[in-house]
């Protein structure tokens, strides 16, 4: 176990695994580079098993079972802080049906991204969440007065959203287009790496101008700002 480089956990986590002797310290997996988790609860895996200071790629699937998604995200934040790992790639899949308690469901996910300042590749897959989670997209294009820019080294961005009410899809698509424009403007102003590769999969076409005209004004100011790949897949056009 201490020498593994790739760690994968899927399905329901065995109770014997979660209820291991709490007096045993978490295993320090110094050789671990990649971690894939689609288990419930994630907190059990992270709290009892792994601290990985050399982790470079983290993939977590947060689904709505016994534990609320926000609690799962908080577990990931705690794990990253505890491990002090320098992540290069973060893949986060979230299934969220919302609630009526007035809490912003995007806040903890934004905080998770804030803890991953070294990440160059972000894959965000979302399903069954309210429009308020567009706050995640909005945050990627902001320069916060107190906390700065989220994911300042970001170069690759992948976003996937499955079928949902059309009004929410339209809002998300527009927010994505605005975020990409604002993010590129920040890259110019702050001399940061630019997002070079964009892959978006939704159940709606991109807003007019998304692939070219929207950021022409800033690309004129920085000729080197070119897309290596920009792809927007409309699920409705797939056979």
Residue 21's pLDDT is 46
Question: 3-class SS at 48?
Answer: helix
Q: Cα separation of 206 and 176, whole Å? A: 9
* Per-residue model confidence as pLDDT tens digits over 75-128: 889 889 988 889 999 999 877 665 545 556 678 889 999 999 999 999 998 876
Q: Cα separation of 120 and 192, whole Å? A: 12
Residue 48's pLDDT is 60
Query: What average pLDDT score do residues 193-218 get?
Result: 72
pLDDT greater than 90 at residue 24: no
**Every domain of the chain and the residues it spans:** 123-133+141-239
* Per-residue model confidence as pLDDT tens digits over 205-217: 777 665 555 555 5
Q: Model pTM?
A: 0.84
Q: According to the per-residue pLDDT averaged within each range, which of 3-17, 58-72, 77-91 is highest?
A: 77-91
Residue 30's pLDDT is 85
Residue 1's pLDDT is 59
Residue 98's pLDDT is 57
Region for 25 from its dihedrals, namely left if φ exceeds 0, alpha if ψ lies in -120 to 50, beta otherwise: beta
Q: What percent of the chain has pLDDT over 90?
A: 18
- Evaluate whether 20 touches 13 at the Cβ level (below 8 Å): no
Q: Which has more confidence, 161 or 31?
A: 31
């Amino acid at each position: 176990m201490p020498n593994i480089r790739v760690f994968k956990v899927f399905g329901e986590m065995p109770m014997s695994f979660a209820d291991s002797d709490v007096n045993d310290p978490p295993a320090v997996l110094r050789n671990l580079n990649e971690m894939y988790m689609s288990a419930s609860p994630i907190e059990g895996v992270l709290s009892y098993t792994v601290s990985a200071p050399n982790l470079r790629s983290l993939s977590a699937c947060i689904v709505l079972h016994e534990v609320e998604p926000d609690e799962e995200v908080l577990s990931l934040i705690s794990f990253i802080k505890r491990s002090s790992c320098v992540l290069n790639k973060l893949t986060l899949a979230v299934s969220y049906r919302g609630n009526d308690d007035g809490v912003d469901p995007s806040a903890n996910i934004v905080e998770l991204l804030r803890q991953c300042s070294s990440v160059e590749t972000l894959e965000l897959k979302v399903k069954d969440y309210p429009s308020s989670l567009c706050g995640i997209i909005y945050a990627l294009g902001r320069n916060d007065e107190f906390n700065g820019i989220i994911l300042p080294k970001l170069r690759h961005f992948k976003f996937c959203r499955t079928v949902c009410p059309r009004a929410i899809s339209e809002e998300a698509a527009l927010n994505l287009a605005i975020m990409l424009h604002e993010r590129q403007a920040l890259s110019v102003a702050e001399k940061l790496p630019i997002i070079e590769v964009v892959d978006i999969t939704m159940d709606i076409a991109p807003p007019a101008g998304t692939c070219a005209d929207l950021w022409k004004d800033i690309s004129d100011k920085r000729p080197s700002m070119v897309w290596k790949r920009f792809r927007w897949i409309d699920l409705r056009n797939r056979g």
